[in-house]
Amino acid sequence: MTADEDAVLAANEAFYAAFNAKDFPVMDALWARESHVACIHPGWNVLSGREAVMESWRGILLNDEQPRIVAGGASAHVVGETAYVVCRELVAGSPLAATNLFVREAGEWRIARHHSSPVAMVGG
Amino acid sequence: MTADEDAVLAANEAFYAAFNAKDFPVMDALWARESHVACIHPGWNVLSGREAVMESWRGILLNDEQPRIVAGGASAHVVGETAYVVCRELVAGSPLAATNLFVREAGEWRIARHHSSPVAMVGG
């Protein structure tokens, strides 16, 4: 694994840690500021642009009923200043899969896209 | 819109045209050869690597029962040699949203990731 892949996977872990810590400022800092961002939460419609995306995260992280998320099986692929991660998610026993895209901004890997959706099973 | 964005949106349209034409050789040519590819079909698990991804497309395109797909509302964002598209899909009346990632290989925009999943509604 390259140093870039390591750094991307660390950013991916930080994303899920912020989710579980319900830490909006950290979540906000993890999202890209220069690149266009978009987000598709499971079953939601496309959220496009930083304002809509961060508003959604504020709602999710402020929701006391929001269960924790368990993420695993992440793999990262770096292409220049962007990187693609796929990983599994488990929320309240339901298996999901996520595509997370990172862009390098100011030397940091920041999230530009998060697309999460239900999958048939955890393994496979 | 830049020439790169135009070219990415054309590649995105070619992807859906190949789907509807059930043209496996064209679909195969549209997917990246140098970059790692992965695909998450609606409700399926993560398919990682070219062999698994193309095997899934062969099955989908050879399936006589596979309905046509209507894609729209695509927007493209180019970051160097990669590009991100989000768009809507409509399959047999069911609304979905897709994240499609393209990488530039040999001067052509080729698909490296396709993640499609159900969304709550068509508009919004």
Give how far the C-alpha of residue B59 lies from the chain's centroid of Cα atoms, to the nearest Å. 16
Percent of chain A with pLDDT over 70: 97
Q: Is the pLDDT of residue A123 over 60?
A: no
Give the model confidence (pLDDT) of B59-82 as tens digits.
Answer: 999 999 999 999 999 999 999 999
pLDDT mean over B20-28: 98
Interface test with A, best of B1, B99, B121 (most A CBs within 10 A): B99
Cβ atoms < 10 Å from Cβ of B37: 25
CB A82 within 8 A of CB B79: yes
pLDDT mean over A2-16: 97
Residue B43, both tokens: 């409700």
Question: Which CATH number applies to B3-118?
Answer: 3.10.450.50
Q: What is the pTM of this model?
A: 0.95
pLDDT of residue B124: 46
ipTM for this prediction:
0.93
Nearest residue of A to residue B47 by CA position? A124
CB A19 within 8 A of CB A69: yes
Helix (H, G, I), strand (E, B) or coil at B60: helix
Residue B114, both tokens: 């396709």
Give the model confidence (pLDDT) of A48-72 as tens digits.
Answer: 999 999 999 999 999 999 999 999 9
Q: Is the pLDDT of residue B121 over 80?
A: no
pLDDT of residue A124: 46
Query: Measured between beta carbons, which residues in chain A are less than 8 angstroms from residue B80?
Result: 79-82
B42 touches chain A (CB under 8 A): yes
Angle B97-B103-B107 from CA coordinates, rounded to 5°: 130
